[in-house]
Amino acid sequence: MLGAQPAKAHAYILAMFPYPSGSLHMGHARVYSLSDVLARFHRQSGRKVVHPIGWDAFGLPAENAAIERGLAPAAWTQSNIAHMRTQLAALGAAFDWHRELSTSDPAYFRWTQHLFLRLWRAGLVERREALVNWDPVDGTVLANEQVSPDGRAERSGARVELRRLAQWFFKITHYAEDLVGDLDALDWPDSVKQQQLNWIGLQHGVALDLAVAPHCEPAAAPARVEVFVPDAATSTERHGLCIAVGPEHPILASLQRRIAASVRINTDAWLDGGVARRASSHRLRDWLVSRQRSWGTPIPIVHCDSCGPVPVPEDQLPVTHTWTASSTHKAAPGDSDAAACACPKCNGAARRETDTMDTFVDSSWYWLRYLDPHNTSAMASPSCSAQLPTDVYIGGIEHAIMHLLYARFIAKFLAADGVVALERGEPFARLLAQGMVLGTAYRCPDTGKYLAPTDVDTSGEPRVVATGKRAIVSVEKMSKSKHNGVDPMPVFERHGVDATRLYLLYRAAPQDELVWDSAAIVGMERFLARVRTLVDGVCAAGSGGSIASSPPAESGTASSATLAKAMADAREQVTAAMTRFGFPVAVASLIKLSHALADCPPHHAQTRRAVDLLLRLLHPFAPVVTLELAGRLAGAPVTTEQLAWPSAADAAFEVAVQICVVQINGKKAAVMEDVPAVIAHDHAAIQAHVLASPVVAQLLADPATGAQLAPRRVVVAKTGKLVNIVV
Ligand SMILES: [Zn+2]
């Protein structure tokens, strides 16, 4: 998709922003290496690039962690952000730091509150009593999406209780049809689309109203019940719906009794008879956004006994009452005097809403704010629409449902409400769902417990140090409790950030799981050392000045054809990887080019040209070392933008070749197609080229011993197109 738009002047490369937990993990290193590769490629291609970073800073984990440490959530979060900022800098990623935002910053959530009020004005916010999922450990309500199928809270693991409480909802169901229909236009992995489809669960069918009278109270007035029957329905049992009707009911005439005791429902007859109507239904429920916690965006509503719920006027935003920078107590904001206020409508005594919003509201619109992060009069200027949708959105597959669904809903609303011009209201045209980084975990065979690294001897077959027994080895998602996490910072220090990035990009395709193996990074260190040696050689050969002023290519060496092919292949494969994300193949082609260069004389202009090409193509993957080496080659410091992306012409040079028939004792044995044309009249050079060929070496091997037969005589024809070897 990106490749099909070469004329595009800008690119928006967005990676999901981190939660400021306090330390960068390997998943972060992987996702931001991926986004940085793409951002640098587009900068090298002359595009204006948006590559922002920020912090998904509200939420329960920060609140709980701060309470445990006796700190205020704001102070805890800010110190985590400061630390992680230095870690991200160490990753070598070129972020637009001037766009940095934090969802817990009043300058940001003032506009999250504005979004709430926009939704309110559009009739898409509702407060109603609902049977909700109550997490007794975290003391808050959870969305259905945050409860696992076995009825436990995803975060705390507590068994969720059902309670009837007044809660705030966003009417996402209003957009259910669009959220399904517009998936088709998105360049997203099919698995993610399918998960969204399953979650929304849209079905078409027929609806009819049934009058239901309880049979134990024949005098009672019948209740009317709307019944939905999906088109795919073949039996009542399958949908868990059992409708009992009296024998005299006319509806029975349209039911055909079959011999799954199943009943096939003839909805056509109902439609024809005017009993039912076409309708759709979905599994998706309205988005419950109320949270009874303090570390979140306060809901900007005032409750007045006379006026009911009243929105806080725009000029009084942000509402910050439910938390303060010094607050350390576990949130019970409803008890606080801070909730007392005057009604904005009648000026009578009122109280503020003390619920905060689900953090998924904060992250539902940050992709827009990045484009205009310092705007104090609007969520973003209308001119930002020109930079949307994002070209690539990169993030973990674990966000396939909730975050992506909520962000799509809010984008559709903002487009409908005139805040942003966005085709179909879709913010993320293309999605790269990154696979997890897995680590090797060891368990004790006796207790089944995970073992700390010091408790396992991995010098040979992994064994428990204490007992000498063979440890149980498994590859699992990195986690502290399994002792299989790898902290990226010591890895950067030991192997270098460039080698680590290359490893992350080469080890597995970005969509696949990556099994971490520290020992394998040295291969990337060796590759970078080889590149450094190549640059050292070219610089020592001293043909200073820029590539453009170099003398024409010498194509007379036997390795010219190999080098030419390696150059063209590398450019083609690395460029293709930027649109198809085939980074392992791209890095492999760069390694191959470095090997092809190893045989080239450093004083040749062609060698220098190929080394220059290698540095440009390698730059997105290994930015630190390539900027240094390209600067040495150019004789002055260079920037990413100056390392212009090579064109096909830059990566090609003419290597005229001719065919040569090889005879052994006068019999045709092989045809060589790579004899450089410039040596056609240099019989000694042709003879050397032919004898150095692996094909000829094989032909001259003694079949019994494998020893090389020594040619007694070699005759080269006048044309240079026939060589007869006499053995
Ligand atoms: Zn009032």
**570: pLDDT strictly greater than 80:** yes
- Predicted confidence band of residue 556 (pLDDT cuts 50, 70, 90): very low
Residue 364's CB is within 10 A of a number of other CB atoms, namely 29
Give the distance (Å) from ligand 1 centre to CA of residue 344.
7
Give the distance (Å) from ligand 1 centre to CA of residue 140.
28
Give the distance (Å) from ligand 1 centre to CA of residue 349.
7
**252: pLDDT strictly greater than 70:** no
Q: What residue has token string 């000498």?
A: 468
Give the distance (Å) from ligand 1 centre to CA of residue 354.
17
Give the distance (Å) from ligand 1 centre to CA of residue 318.
20
Give the distance (Å) from ligand 1 centre to CA of residue 350.
7
**314: pLDDT strictly greater than 70:** yes
Q: Are strands 10-15 and 392-396 parallel, antiparallel or unpaired?
A: parallel
Contact 64, 34 (CB under 8 A): no
Please state the rounded mean pLDDT for residues 52-73: 87
- Predicted confidence band of residue 675 (pLDDT cuts 50, 70, 90): confident
Give the distance (Å) from ligand 1 centre to CA of residue 342.
8
pLDDT value at residue 114: 98
Burial (CB < 10 A; 0-12, 13-18, 19+), residue 58, is buried
pLDDT value at residue 234: 45
586 against 702, higher pLDDT = 586
Q: Which residues contact 327 (CB under 8 A, 6 or more apart)?
A: 72, 73, 74, 294
Contact 199, 405 (CB under 8 A): yes
Give the distance (Å) from ligand 1 centre to CA of residue 300.
15
pLDDT value at residue 241: 47
Q: Helix and strand tally (H, E) in the chain? A: 19, 30
Give the distance (Å) from ligand 1 centre to CA of residue 302.
9
For every residue of 17-39, DSSP letters joined together read: PPP--SS--HHHHHHHHHHHHHH
pLDDT value at residue 330: 43
Query: Angle at CA 171, nearest 5°, toward 168 and 177?
Result: 160
pLDDT value at residue 259: 31
pLDDT value at residue 218: 53
Give the distance (Å) from ligand 1 centre to CA of residue 28.
48
**298: pLDDT strictly greater than 60:** yes
pLDDT digits (tens, 9 = 90+) for 382-430: 999 999 999 999 998 888 889 999 999 999 999 999 999 999 999 999 9
**Burial letters for 152-173: b for 16+ Cβ neighbours within 10 Å, e otherwise?**
ebebbebebeeeeeebbbbbbb
The Cα 625–Cα 636 span in angstroms is 15
Please state the rounded mean pLDDT for residues 562-572: 90
- Predicted confidence band of residue 213 (pLDDT cuts 50, 70, 90): low
pLDDT value at residue 264: 57
Contact 3, 42 (CB under 8 A): no
Give the distance (Å) from ligand 1 centre to CA of residue 165.
23
Give the distance (Å) from ligand 1 centre to CA of residue 419.
30
Lowest mean pLDDT among 240-244, 264-268, 511-515: 240-244
**151: pLDDT strictly greater than 80:** yes
- Predicted confidence band of residue 140 (pLDDT cuts 50, 70, 90): confident
- Predicted confidence band of residue 702 (pLDDT cuts 50, 70, 90): confident
Please state the rounded mean pLDDT for residues 117-121: 98
Give the distance (Å) from ligand 1 centre to CA of residue 654.
82
pLDDT value at residue 422: 95
For every residue of 679-691, DSSP letters joined together read: GTT-HHHHHHHHH
Give the distance (Å) from ligand 1 centre to CA of residue 130.
25
Please state the rounded mean pLDDT for residues 535-550: 65
Give the distance (Å) from ligand 1 centre to CA of residue 306.
5
Please state the rounded mean pLDDT for residues 98-107: 96
467 against 548, higher pLDDT = 467
Please state the rounded mean pLDDT for residues 453-463: 90
Give the distance (Å) from ligand 1 centre to CA of residue 339.
15
Lowest mean pLDDT among 497-511, 520-534, 603-617: 603-617
What distance lies between CA 453 and its chain's CA centroid?
A: 30
The Cα 386–Cα 634 span in angstroms is 36
Give the distance (Å) from ligand 1 centre to CA of residue 695.
93
End-to-end CA, the chain = 58
Give the distance (Å) from ligand 1 centre to CA of residue 305.
7
- Predicted confidence band of residue 530 (pLDDT cuts 50, 70, 90): very high
Please state the rounded mean pLDDT for residues 497-523: 94
Give the distance (Å) from ligand 1 centre to CA of residue 309.
8
Q: Mean of the per-residue pLDDT values for the chain? A: 86
Give the distance (Å) from ligand 1 centre to CA of residue 297.
23
Tokens of 704: 């019994």
Give the distance (Å) from ligand 1 centre to CA of residue 132.
28
Give the distance (Å) from ligand 1 centre to CA of residue 255.
55
Give the distance (Å) from ligand 1 centre to CA of residue 345.
5
pTM above 0.85, yes or no: no
**235: pLDDT strictly greater than 60:** no
Helix (H) or strand (E) holding 49: strand 48-50
The Cα 334–Cα 353 span in angstroms is 8
Please state the rounded mean pLDDT for residues 81-107: 95
Residue 369's CB is within 10 A of a number of other CB atoms, namely 23
Give the distance (Å) from ligand 1 centre to CA of residue 310.
7
Question: For the CA atoms of the chain, what is the radius of gyration?
Answer: 34
Give the distance (Å) from ligand 1 centre to CA of residue 332.
24
Lowest mean pLDDT among 35-49, 102-116, 199-213: 199-213
**237: pLDDT strictly greater than 50:** no
156 against 102, higher pLDDT = 102
The CA distances from residue 126 to 167, 303, 482, in Å, are 8, 14, 43
Give the distance (Å) from ligand 1 centre to CA of residue 724.
105
